[in-house]
Chain A
Amino acid sequence: MKPARKKVLLVDDEPIVCERLRPALEKIGFYVESYTDGQKAVDRVMEESFDVLVTDLKMQKPDGLEVMEFVRQHSPATKVIIITGFATVDTAVETLKSGAVDFIAKPFKIRNLCDLIVKLTSEEAG
């Protein structure tokens, strides 16, 4: 029997980020939902549990930190990856302290993010 697909939730207010990542992740076997509006993502977290949340940092309310905070409260098993174009050491440290498992600066290689997600979800499986 096939194991269930791992679920990834993508949040980025730049549509292109979702448009690029979603098919790349689907191609390697993930179930993906993507939102450009943090609120919609938060709403989905109430209904569905995701294995991984990938979220942008700087967005309209709720921003990435808020989305992450919400996810951590309502779905503590979800692993959170932050992607941001405003990458500094400080923001990286801050987000990691707030509970993100990783932090990726934009622009980034699709493969790098995919590899990371694969690694995170297989760790979980193992």
Chain B
Amino acid sequence: MGVAPALRALLARRRQGNVDQLRETLNRFRALVEENDHVLELIADAGEKLGGEYVFDSKYLRDLAAQLKDAAHAVVTNLNAISQDRYPDLLEALAKIDDAVGAALECRLVVPEAPFVVSLEDVGTEQLEVVGAKMARLGEVRNRLGFTVPEGFVVTTQACREFLEAAGVGEAVEVLRAHFMQGGETLEEESRRIREAILGARVPRSIVRAIRRELGRLVRSGDGEPLLAVRSSAVDEDGELSFAGQYETVLGVPPEGVVDAYRTVVASMYAPGVMRYRRLHTIPPGCGYMAVGILRMVPARASGVIYSLDPTAPERNTLVVSAARGLGKLVVEGGASVDRVEMSRDPAYHVVARRVAHKERMFVAVSGGGAVAEPVPDAERDAPAVSDEELNELAGSARRIEQYMKAAQDIEWAFDHEGRLFVLQARPLRMAVVSEPRGRDLSDIVRRYPVLMRGRGEVACRGIGSGPVCLVTDPEQLPTEVPPGAVLVVRAATPRIGGMLAGASAVLTDLGSATGHFAAVARDLRLPTIVDTGLATRILTEGTEVTVDAEENVVYEGRVEELLRYQLSRASSFEDAAEFRTLRRMLRRIAPLRLRDPTSPAFSAANCTTYHDVIRFAHEKAICELVEIGWVSPPAGVHYVRRLELPVPLDLILVDLGGGFHVEAGSTTATPEDLTSRPLVPVLEELTTGGAWETAPASMDLEGFMSSATRPMPLTGAQAARPEQNLAFVSGEYLHLSLRLGYHFNIVDTYLGNSPADNYIYFRFAGGVTELTRRSRRAALLKRILEGHGFVAEGRGDLVVGRIKGLDADAMVERLRMVGRLIGFTRQLDIHMRNDRLVDEYVDRFMSGRPFSSATLSADEEPEDKGDSEMSTSTEVLVLDDEPMVCERLKEHLERKGYRIEVFTESQKAVDRLAEKRFDVVITDLKMQGPNGLEVLRFVRDSGFGTQVIVITGYGTMDAAREAEYSGAFEFITKPFSSKALETTVRKAARKARKAKERTQR
């Protein structure tokens, strides 16, 4: 059914005056919103669990999946009820997601859509499930860290699935899996049969073609026929469990042998050693697929392995290098004739111990395939395989990769004949023995270090990191990158900073939450992170070496080596645990939001691939349904739909559910005087009379607002079709208000009757298109304001929901006025939230009812009484600004309003004048020659005449402005400001001055 017939049907229904139907729709909508919020909360909570702060078990995972499924289904059911089942596709999409989440929970096979082969140039950890862990890490090392790795490509898990399907082993795998899950021990026979089936199967043509195509590229890019390494890269290698050496790797493969080698590697998924390993670590088979890396072999002069920390004696704080001549086969396979060098982990990397082996043979790749042992020339047999410079380069590289991967590393490397270093593989190092001081010993040792901060804020990701402080106080002036290894200290946990975290060793923030976007980024990078400390930027100084223990929530001065080694040498990190791996897998099908832009054709039910997509889509469409239903031009004769006429450009359609307003029949509009809805009146009063509509800051004036409203843009909560449309469903006691203002979306749902028990307010704010930084700032701000007014507020990323209930009528009206003000206020925030420091300022101002200069919220503004004009004529104002233009403008404007003005462009003269004459109000710039604004301010304050000072400031001088406030300024106004806002402020200042004068005269 198209939109038009649906609309007609709905309209017809409404013409019958079916208010019950409307109410039902509205109830459905409210239920949808509630379930939507529930899903968001569950997602945020689950994300937080990945940070390692929580202990959870498999029951939690099952509960999570069940709750998410229920809530998401409720959202969709309600949408379909509202929309007359317009979205059957959504149910299909939902069923797929249920399956995928269920599969992740049960550790069943899931393979993301992907081509059969991808080039290593396009690979990073985000493609883990496509390219397997080993290749994902190698891609990361190449593409993010810039190391040289062998050229090559990856045959994906998708290809593996296709191949295994062709091999017909699916059923056998399921049997094996079921057996395993029941704790069966005799898996050898089953796995042998699967292995043989794979080895005997034909690789599908389409995969072979894809492999040949990439091979062709490799051949063309080098000289001569390349020899290849065919390496396993299973998705099982998720987390830290590496299956080290369990899967097959075939070296020295000529191009024509690649397909056979591919088959061999895939079959090794079911090798006996692998099955034992699985049993040991409780990793069921059939949990993943084998991707296979096909890489050009490095013609190695020397190769080997480096451990970034000695796994057998971490307390020695050394790196260990094993090196052989030629290919690294000997090293990896644990053969003899290998040099062993121990080096310090400090950047000098001096050699602590060295044992040079007598090397009689070395492995080289041969063109027919494979590797053969060749004798080492007599003269070179006792020479070290690598030089000291090369050792140094190896050590530095290992430390860098370790730093980035946040774990001690086991790295395979090679130097070619030109002395170029290749990283062949990098994986987390398994610690054989944990001989670190633990328990009481460690806590005793750690006690010796000075503590800079303890127990402040919230751990967003557990871990320990150390480095020099990189302080970022102004998010508008982010460094392009954080110095590698630095501890990033920022004011707010904003997503923009999230983009530059990769090299950091730990993060501390003043503001933010463990459930925000930023925290999620930090967890992705496994970066020890403490958010919401309140003071980190103030007590830590640039360049100071600190150690962040994001487990005990302590920041130490200096490098606490014992803690750092404890971290690196821990037997396993929490991410290894099966529950964490499962949760991470589940969340990939739950949390990512891919449908962001409702105006895009891709914004469709069929494209919903996560629960987050589904609820975003459903919420969006539900609002469209409500708005689109046809209130646009209220049909004449329908007595309960009216367009509200307001003095401000707010297009509001009212739908009366009974007693919400009264108007004459035949009219299509209503005025504020017609309103009889108890909750709507206070909200609207504040919303329309406040400063929200009168400001005209440069970046977004009213015209800008209106044009932004009609410009197509990705909205998160609002509808695309009629973005300027706002709706209020009203009755005498009830209000449901859906507003899209500027860049964001507000919903107010409230009941105001005579019984406090029935009364409630639900306030919901969803950030819109604004860049995420400002959004999350706003969310933090709104949450604090709501809480300050007694709401229970939840802030999750860019969404804030506040609820309050049980208030009596007076308290309700007061809160509703606040809500109206808050809505106007949020419109301001799009413009003003440029600076994180402003968050505090705004909260203070809003809470104290003092408006923020031009952003006048009129919280406590008295009505403009007649006395004011009389008052202004007797009000003496001194204006001081070193820019004559500013002075002229102020003078002209204020004189027109009847104030008596004296203007000064030199502060000394102004001070002289202030000494001889009493003024009611002083308006002063901050930065001037001679005595500056602050000095003028102090002078005035100390003179004790009750003179009120208004400080003018630009955005760049907020700190000074803040100081001005502490020094007793009445108000500060930020440039550019509107003349109306100025006038309001001057009037209030004058009133206060008059009162002060009366007091002193009494």
Give the distance to chain B from A38, nearest Cβ to Cβ, in Å: 16
A113 to B459, CA, bound (A): 15
Contacts of B63 on A, CB cut-off 8 Å?
Answer: 85
Closest to B49 in A: A107
B552 interface residue per 8 A CB criterion: yes
A40 interface residue per 8 A CB criterion: no
Instruction: Pick the contact of B55: A2, A20, A26, A28 (CB < 8 A).
Output: A20
By size class, the interface of chain A is 20 to 34
B624 interface residue per 8 A CB criterion: no
A44 interface residue per 8 A CB criterion: no
A30 interface residue per 8 A CB criterion: yes
Across the interface, do A16 and B579 meet the contact criterion of CB distance under 8 Å?
yes
A81 to B941, CA, bound (A): 59
For window 13-54 of chain B, which residues contact chain A by CB distance below 8 Å? 49, 52-54
Q: How many B residues have CB within 8 A of the partner chain?
A: 28
A16-B55, A21-B55, A27-B442 known; A107+B60 contact, CB < 8 A: yes
Contacts of B53 on A, CB cut-off 8 Å?
Answer: 109-111
A27-B552, A111-B553 known; A2+B57 contact, CB < 8 A: no
Closest to A107 in B: B56
Across the interface, do B57 and A106 meet the contact criterion of CB distance under 8 Å?
yes
Across the interface, do A17 and B443 meet the contact criterion of CB distance under 8 Å?
no
Contacts of A2 on B, CB cut-off 8 Å?
Answer: 440, 444
A23 interface residue per 8 A CB criterion: yes
Across the interface, do B439 and A17 meet the contact criterion of CB distance under 8 Å?
no
Across the interface, do A28 and B60 meet the contact criterion of CB distance under 8 Å?
no
Across the interface, do A17 and B57 meet the contact criterion of CB distance under 8 Å?
yes
A27-B442, A28-B443, A29-B439 known; A16+B54 contact, CB < 8 A: no
Across the interface, do A107 and B55 meet the contact criterion of CB distance under 8 Å?
yes
Give the distance to chain B from A18, nearest Cβ to Cβ, in Å: 10
Across the interface, do B552 and A85 meet the contact criterion of CB distance under 8 Å?
no
Give the distance to chain B from A58, nearest Cβ to Cβ, in Å: 9
Instruction: Pick the contact of B443: A23, A27, A108 (CB < 8 A).
Output: A27
Contacts of B58 on A, CB cut-off 8 Å?
Answer: 14, 16
Across the interface, do B443 and A29 meet the contact criterion of CB distance under 8 Å?
yes
A27-B566, A28-B443, A107-B60 known; A17+B438 contact, CB < 8 A: no
Give the distance to chain B from A3, nearest Cβ to Cβ, in Å: 9
Contacts of A12 on B, CB cut-off 8 Å?
Answer: 57
Contacts of A86 on B, CB cut-off 8 Å?
Answer: 59
A110 to B52, CA, bound (A): 8
Give the distance to chain B from A84, nearest Cβ to Cβ, in Å: 9
For window 1-46 of chain A, which residues contact chain B by CB distance below 8 Å? 2, 5, 12, 14, 16-17, 19-21, 23-24, 26-31
A63 to B494, CA, bound (A): 46
B353 interface residue per 8 A CB criterion: no
> Interface centre among B52, B59, B442, B444, by most A CB within 10 Å?
B59
Contacts of B577 on A, CB cut-off 8 Å?
Answer: 16, 19-20
Contacts of B56 on A, CB cut-off 8 Å?
Answer: 16, 106-107
B456 interface residue per 8 A CB criterion: no
User: What are 30 A-to-B residue pairs whose CB atoms are below 8 Å?
Assistant: A5-B439, A14-B58, A14-B59, A16-B55, A16-B577, A19-B577, A20-B55, A23-B570, A26-B438, A27-B442, A27-B566, A28-B552, A29-B442, A29-B444, A30-B439, A30-B440, A85-B63, A86-B59, A106-B55, A106-B56, A107-B54, A107-B55, A107-B56, A108-B54, A109-B54, A110-B52, A110-B53, A111-B53, A111-B459, A111-B552
By a beta-carbon cutoff of 8 Å, the part of chain B in contact with chain A is: 49, 52-60, 63, 438-440, 442-444, 459, 551-553, 566, 570, 572, 574, 577-579
